[in-house]
């Protein structure tokens, strides 16, 4: 039993080994079928002269023909051990600017116009072509024709040919890094730039002296990110919005502005914006921006790339000096945002040096720049600065709110105390005013009547009835002065009822019939205590005149509400009457003065048998 189990284990191990050998053989055979074509016969035409030569790929046009445009045809023969039965794939990291690809006399792919310069640029993205097995033989020939413009990185990279399942992943990896990754960087940079501009436009410091000030840090960050968006978008735009070389000059200017804006952004982070050296630096960066247009024109239009090289050298030297100073200051002790931005600057500098070596010094043609991805660190640094400033601003806002709340509470307490003092003072003033009114009313009313009664008695000429009438008037005045303390504001009905209660006994004693026709109307809001006292004395004066002078037998009091929401009060008697315009009585002048004081309309009409005193309040 144990022996049979041992045999089974050995058999399984043998089968596993065989499978592994088969898979390894298949992998080796697939790798053996994958070819990298680097040798070519080239037919190059520049300025009307054609030369034939054997070249090794990659063929970088701008390095072989500095400042010149032209055409080239590359022939790449290759052999296969056998005709493949599976689809093959052709992967070209870079070629163009316009191109045609032929296999054994059959056109595989074409992009651009080989006859006209400065058109769309198809050297941006890697290319992949699926080749059906029927197009391949044992002896094959690729013919690649290109048209290259000045300064557009035209040329031809090595060709990779093999089974598509092996070749396509190479193309896909390159495409994702160069095209998809660039597109993501463009979107991220655009969003960061727009956000920075929004912050710059909305975050206004109005607390400082002078005009409200916006933070230039956000402005520099927004300009830098938007210019970087333009520069990176060149890697994915095959049909630029402007003809070449003008589009190339726009990209060059955008790159220059990006460098300058990032330098000024870092200066703001470090707090150097007010230094005189930074003022000179701004002037120098403005000079470099102006020089970028001249360098672009000289290099891309007239074919002298040395101008662009000098511009890059000036930008690079300026950046290196500033970066060294910025990092040195950060290492010697600086704020956390300064250190974070310094780390991003250092990393971008190292990546930029790597890209400079790969694309300007080495012979690599194709490849992918990494600076566009590392530049995202600046956006993250800006995001960190915004978050930190928001936290600081939030803390300051909380402290300010707490201080304001405390101050408001203190002011409310002080205001409440002041209000209590004012209220107490107002009550005291009201009591004093009421005492003054009572004294004045007693002096003008009761005092005057008592004085009159004394003079009447001293003179010996007044009858007993006249002296008694004067004393009764003084007593009524005293009662009305007391009643005036409790008058309800605006309640005319209650005022008349109170007068009726006080004076009706005197009317009966004088054989005067009192007719009461008073409606119950709502209080008039505009009649305060003072106005009610004035009205009380007007009515009392009218009634007193009837008692003393009218010799009437009937007195009628009417009260109606008016259409305007006011009141109409009428005192009517059937006495002897008088002429209001001719009679100069102190009581009539007092009526007119009191009516004017409360803005009431007073109308007095009198004929024998019918005298009407009408008071209208609106």
In whole angstroms, what separates CA 64 from the centre of its chain? Answer: 53
Query: What pLDDT, on a 0 to 100 scale, did the predictor assign at position 485?
Result: 64
User: Tens digit of pLDDT for each residue in 496-531?
Assistant: 888 888 788 878 878 889 898 999 888 888 888 888
Query: What pLDDT, on a 0 to 100 scale, did the predictor assign at position 67?
Result: 87
Q: Is the pLDDT of residue 468 over 80?
A: no
Query: What pLDDT, on a 0 to 100 scale, did the predictor assign at position 27?
Result: 41
Contact 125, 368 (CB under 8 A): no
**Lowest-confidence range among 37-46, 296-305, 441-450, 533-542?**
441-450
Phi, psi of 285 (to 5 degrees): -65, -35
User: Tens digit of pLDDT for each residue in 141-197?
Assistant: 999 999 999 988 899 999 999 999 999 999 999 999 889 999 999 999 999 999 899
Task: Tell me which H or E stretch contains 233.
Answer: helix 216-233
User: Tens digit of pLDDT for each residue in 387-415?
Assistant: 887 788 788 888 888 998 999 999 989 98
Q: Give the integer Cα–Cα distance in Å for 572 and 517.
A: 11
Contact 167, 160 (CB under 8 A): yes
Contact 532, 489 (CB under 8 A): yes
Does pTM top 0.75 for this prediction? no
Contact 573, 611 (CB under 8 A): yes
Contact 147, 112 (CB under 8 A): yes
Neighbours of 186 (CB within 10 A): 21
Half-sphere exposure of 235 (CA within 13 A, CB side): 26
Neighbours of 371 (CB within 10 A): 19
**Lowest-confidence range among 301-315, 435-449, 514-528?**
435-449
Query: What pLDDT, on a 0 to 100 scale, did the predictor assign at position 289?
Result: 92
Q: Give the integer Cα–Cα distance in Å for 165 and 86.
A: 10
Neighbours of 326 (CB within 10 A): 23
Query: What pLDDT, on a 0 to 100 scale, did the predictor assign at position 261?
Result: 93
- Give mean pLDDT, residues 49-57: 94
Q: Give the integer Cα–Cα distance in Å for 553 and 618.
A: 32
- The rounded percent of the chain whose pLDDT value lies above 90 is 39
Query: What pLDDT, on a 0 to 100 scale, did the predictor assign at position 447?
Result: 59
Cβ-based burial of 485 (10 A; exposed 0-12, middle 13-18, buried ≥19): exposed
User: Tens digit of pLDDT for each residue in 336-353?
Assistant: 888 989 998 888 888 888
| pLDDT: which is higher, 523 or 367 | 523
**Lowest-confidence range among 314-323, 526-535, 553-562, 606-615?**
526-535
Query: What pLDDT, on a 0 to 100 scale, did the predictor assign at position 584?
Result: 60
Is 510 strand, coil or helix?
Answer: coil
Give the chain's mean pLDDT: 84
Is 309 strand, coil or helix?
Answer: helix
Identify the sign of the CA torsion 397, 402, 407, 413.
positive
Phi, psi of 400 (to 5 degrees): -65, -40
């Amino acid at each position: 039993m144990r022996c049979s189990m041992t045999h089974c284990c050995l058999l399984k191990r043998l089968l596993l080994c065989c499978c592994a050998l088969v898979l390894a053989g298949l992998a080796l055979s697939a790798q053996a079928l994958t070819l990298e074509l680097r040798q070519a016969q080239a037919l190059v035409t520049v300025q009307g002269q054609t030369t034939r030569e054997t070249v090794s790929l990659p063929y970088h046009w701008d390095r072989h023909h500095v400042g010149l445009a032209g055409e080239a045809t590359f022939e790449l023969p290759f052999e296969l051990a056998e005709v493949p039965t599976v689809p093959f794939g052709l992967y070209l990291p870079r070629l163009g600017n316009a191109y045609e690809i032929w296999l054994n006399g059959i056109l595989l792919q074409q992009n651009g116009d080989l006859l006209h310069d400065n058109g769309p640029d198809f050297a941006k993205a890697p290319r992949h072509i699926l080749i059906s097995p029927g197009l391949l033989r044992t002896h094959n020939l690729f013919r690649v024709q290109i048209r290259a413009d000045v300064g557009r990185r035209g040329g031809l990279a090595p060709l990779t040919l093999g089974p598509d399942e092996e070749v396509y992943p190479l193309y896909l990896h390159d495409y994702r890094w160069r095209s998809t990754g660039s597109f993501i960087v463009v979107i991220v940079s655009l969003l960061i730039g727009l956000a920075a501009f929004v912050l710059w436009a909305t975050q206004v410091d109005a607390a400082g002296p002078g005009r409200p000030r916006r933070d230039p840090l956000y402005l520099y960050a927004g300009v830098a990110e938007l210019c970087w968006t333009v520069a990176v978008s060149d890697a994915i735009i095959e049909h630029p919005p402007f003809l070449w070389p003008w589009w190339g000059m726009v990209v060059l200017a955008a790159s220059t502005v990006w460098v300058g804006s990032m330098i000024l952004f870092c200066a703001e982070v470090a707090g150097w914006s007010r230094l005189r050296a930074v003022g000179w630096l701004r002037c120098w960066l403005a000079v470099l921006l102006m020089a970028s247009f001249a360098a672009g024109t000289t290099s891309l239009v007239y074919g002298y790339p040395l101008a662009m090289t000098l511009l890059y050298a000036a930008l690079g030297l300026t950046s290196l000096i500033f970066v060294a100073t910025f990092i040195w200051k950060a290492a010697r002790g600086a704020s956390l945002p300064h250190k974070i931005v310094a780390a991003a600057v250092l990393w971008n500098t190292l990546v930029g040096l790597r890209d400079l070596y790969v694309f300007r010094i080495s012979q690599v043609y194709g490849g992918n720049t990494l600076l566009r991805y590392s530049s995202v660190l600046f956006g993250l640094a800006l995001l960190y600065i915004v978050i930190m400033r928001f936290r600081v601003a939030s803390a300051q806002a909380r402290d300010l709110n707490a201080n304001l709340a405390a101050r408001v509470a203190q002011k409310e307490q002080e205001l409440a105390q002041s209000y209590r003092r004012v209220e107490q003072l107002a009550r005291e003033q009201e009591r004093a005013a009421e005492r003054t009114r009572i004294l004045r009313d007693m002096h003008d009313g009761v005092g005057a009547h008592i004085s009159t009664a004394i003079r009447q008695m001293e003179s010996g000429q007044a009858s007993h009835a006249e002296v008694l009438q004067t004393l009764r008037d003084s007593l009524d005045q005293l009662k009305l002065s007391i009643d005036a303390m409790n008058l309800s504001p605006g309640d005319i009905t209650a005022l008349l009822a109170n007068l009726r209660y006080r004076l009706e006994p005197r009317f009966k004693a004088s054989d005067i019939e009192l007719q009461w026709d008073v409606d119950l109307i709502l209080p008039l809001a505009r009649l305060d205590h003072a106005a009610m006292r004035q009205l009380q004395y007007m009515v009392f004066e009218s009634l007193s005149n009837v008692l003393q002078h009218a010799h009437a037998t009937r007195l009628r009091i009417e009260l109606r509400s008016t259409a305007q929401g006011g009141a109409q009060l009428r005192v009517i008697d059937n006495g002897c009457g008088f002429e209001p315009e001719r009679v100069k009585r102190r009581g009539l002048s007092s009526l007119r003065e009191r009516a004017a004081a409360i803005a009431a309309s007073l109308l007095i009409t009198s004929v024998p048998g019918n005298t009407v005193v009408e008071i209208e309040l609106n």
